[in-house]
Amino acid sequence: MAAGGADGELTESVRMIERAAGGLATASVARMDEVLPWFRELPADQRAWVMLVAQAGVRSFVEWLRESGRQADGTQEVSDEIFDAAPRALARSISLQQTVQLIQVTIDVVEMQVAHLAAPGEERAVSDAMLRFSREVAFAAARVYARAADSRGAWDARLQALLVDALLRGDSADELASRAAALNWGDTSPVAVAVGRSPGGEAAAVLHVLHRLARRIGVDVIGGVHGDRLVLVLGGTHDPVHTTERLLAAFGEGPVVVGPPVPSLDEATESARAALAGFRAVPAWPSAPRPVSATELLPERALAGDAEARRILRQEIYGALVRSGGELLETLDGFFTAGNVLESAARALYVHPNTVRYRLRRIAEITGLTPTTSRDAFALRVALTIGRLDPAVPAPPPPIAPALDVTPDSDIPVSQM
C-alpha cells in the first residue's frame, strides 16, 4: 500500500474520510433508493437501520485504514460488530443477496468519491484498500447470516418439537392451532403422522434435510426429534404412505410407520397414537414393508396391548362378520381349522367348494381382509380371538344347518341365492 506519511499510514486520507463519513452514508442510502427497487419498499424503521449500518461501515473503514497502515502485511479481518448498529431482526427482513447489493452500492459511492476523499498521491492506495475492505465486509455479513440461520434453525426445530409434543399428549385444538400458527402451518388437509428412527445428529440438521426433501415433492411437513425417534406431521397428502416413502432419506435405519390420514391437525393425535403404537409393535413383523401403514399392523398392535387396535378388530372386523350372519363366521372357522385348504373346509362344512369360495369373497368384501392370503388370515384370526374374548360383542346367531349343495359348476351355489 502506498504511504501517505513517514510511518506508512494514510494519515491525511484517513482524516478526510472521517470528516466525510456522515455524507458518505447519506449518499450511499440515497443511491440505494435510486437503484434498488426492493429497498424503496422497506418500512421506514428498516431503512433507518440500513443508514446506521452504512454509517458504522464508514467508521469501520476509517479504523480499518488506520490498522492496515500499521501492519506489515497490510491485512486484517473486519469485525462483525459493524452490523451491531442494527437489530438481528434485520437479517430476517433482508436476505444475504440483498445485503451484498447494499455493500456493492456503498462501495460504488465511496469509489466515486475517492478523488475527493484521498490526499494527493494516495488515491490508488485508498481505492485498493476499499476493495479489500469490501471483501472483508462481505465475509462478515456472511458470518452474521450464518449465525442467524443457525439460530433460526434451532428455534424452528424447538417449535416443531413442541407441536409434535402437543400432538402426542393430545392437547386441545386451541393449543395445537397456536403452535401451528407459529410455524406458519396452513389449513392443509388431510393430515397424517409418520414415526421412524432419527438418523442422529443435531435436530436442526435433521429437520433441514427433511424440509429440503419435502420442498422437492411439494408437501407440508413438521418434524420433531424425540430421543432416537423422528416424528413427522404430513399435510395435504391423500397417500401418506407413498409420501413418506419419498421422505425416507430423512429417517435413520429401521422401520417407519405411518398413521391413518385424518381431516385436520386438530385430529392428528389419533394418527400419531396409531403410528407410535405401530412403531412399538412392528418388530413382531420382521418382513414389514418400509414404510408400513399402522392399519396393516393392527394384529401386532393388539397383541402389544394397543386398546384402539383391539377396538377396531373387535368392532370393525369381528363385529361386521357377526352382523352379516353366522354362516360367514362358521365358514371362516372351518377354513382356518382345515389349514386354509378350501376343499377340506368344504367337506367339513358339508358344502360345495364354490360355496366356500363365495363366502370367503363375502368376508373379504365386508372386512377388507382376504382369508386366502397369509397376512390377512393372521389379522382375521386375531380379530376372531379378540371378538370372542370380549363379552361386549353379542354372540352370532346359531348357524342354520346348511343345505347340501351339489352344483359343481355354479360359482354361487343355489343354497346362497
Domain chopping of the chain, boundaries: 11-150, 188-293, 307-416
- The confidence score (pLDDT) of residue 293 equals 95
Which is it for the CA torsion 391, 393, 398, 403, positive or negative?
negative
Does position 83 have pLDDT exceeding 60, yes or no?
no
- Tell me the C-alpha distance between 342 and 361, whole Å: 12
Residue 12: pLDDT band by 50, 70, 90 thresholds?
A: confident
Q: Mean per-residue pLDDT for 246-265?
A: 90
pLDDT, tens digit, for every residue of 319-346? 999 888 778 899 998 999 988 888 998 8
Q: What is the pTM of this model?
A: 0.57
Does position 126 have pLDDT exceeding 80, yes or no?
no
The percent of residues above 70 in pLDDT, for the chain, comes to: 70
Q: Mean per-residue pLDDT for 151-179?
A: 58
Answer for the pair 387, 314: CB distance below 8 angstroms, yes or no: yes
Q: Classify 188-293 by CATH class.
A: alpha beta
CATH topology match: 188-293 vs 307-416:
no
Which superfamily does CATH assign the domain made up of 307-416 to? PucR C-terminal helix-turn-helix domain (1.10.10.2840)
Nearest CA to 224 among 253, 196, 184? 196
Q: Is 54 exposed, middle or buried (0-12, 13-18, 19+ CB in 10 A)?
A: buried
Residue 48: pLDDT band by 50, 70, 90 thresholds?
A: confident
β pairing state of 256-258 and 292-293: parallel
Say which range, 8-12, 17-21, 60-64, 401-405, has the weakest mean pLDDT: 401-405
Please state whether the peptide bond connecting residue 397 to the residue before it is cis, i.e. omega within 30 degrees of 0: no
Does position 301 have pLDDT exceeding 80, yes or no?
yes
